[in-house]
A and B are shown apart, each in its own frame.
Chain A
Amino acid sequence: MSSNNPEVLVCESDFDVGTEYAQLCSDLPGAGALVSFVGRVRDLNESTSVASLELQHYPGMTEKLIQQIIDQAKKSWDIDRVRVIHRVGTLCPTDQIVFVGVASAHRKEAFAAAEFIMDYLKTKATFWKRESDGHKAEWLDMKDSDIAASQRWGK
């Protein structure tokens, strides 16, 4: 699946961190800081072994909400470029789920914006995970720790 939006991509296919890194800082000689985060599927979730993870989303609305999160980050911090990729479909342990990259002049802004975007992705963007241990599959609940992480930004 391709997208014309350089900042947001929701897709089934995997991404290459090296390629994303190169694109994030290309033609940005003033960007002295580049923070990238990759979220992966763990093999254990709260002591349950994970065989696979199904990620569902609301096409159209998801991209719009991620864009709003990015726009909010740009208003809050002086950052030059942002890239968010979120995968959907069926994933397995060690698979990459999410990429957040932020380029900025200085590290403080890049770290803060990347963390803010991740916290908000977890609590605002329309994704739902169903985890399977190989026998039964169950929809996951939002974690209190994720809600707390999101609330501390006070936005």
Chain B
Amino acid sequence: MIKVLLFGRFCDLHDKESFEVTLTNDSTSADELRQQLSAEFPDLGRALNETQTLIAVNQEIVAINHLLKAGDEVAFLPPVTGG
């Protein structure tokens, strides 16, 4: 089980800001999880696939080929606007 977190405008494209996902196979990358979500939620998927989207696993920014493991927290981050 993977915990998925959405932030910023991604929150408006899904009914939950935080939800759990079961991986379809044992060696799933962050990008494969993104494609799995895209297949299920096309509107959200289009936004998650934008080039500026960053992916964090357990609160660290990772490359899209980072392999996930059960219990990971995966966050999809749109461009930030703090300060």
Contacts and interface: CB of A to CB of B under 8 A. Distances in A.
Given A56-B7, A61-B75, A124 B59 contact: no
Given A61-B59, A64-B59, A125 B9 contact: no
Contact of A141 (B11, B56, B79, B82): B79
A121 interface: yes
Interface residues of B, number: 17
B8 A139 contact: yes
B71 interface: no
Interface in A114-132: 118, 121-130
A129 B81 contact: yes
Interface in B40-83: 52, 56, 59, 75, 77-83
B80 A60 contact: no
A58 B81 contact: no
A22 interface: no
Contacts of B11: 56
Contact of B56 (A61, A118, A124, A127): A61
Contacts of A122: 80-83
Interface string A113-155: 0000010011111111110000000011110001000000000
B75 A58 contact: yes
Given A64-B59, A126-B77, A58 B82 contact: no
20 contacts: A58-B7, A58-B56, A58-B77, A61-B56, A122-B82, A123-B80, A126-B7, A126-B80, A127-B82, A127-B83, A128-B7, A128-B8, A128-B9, A128-B81, A128-B82, A139-B8, A139-B9, A141-B79, A142-B52, A142-B81
Interface of B: 5, 7-9, 11-12, 52, 56, 59, 75, 77-83
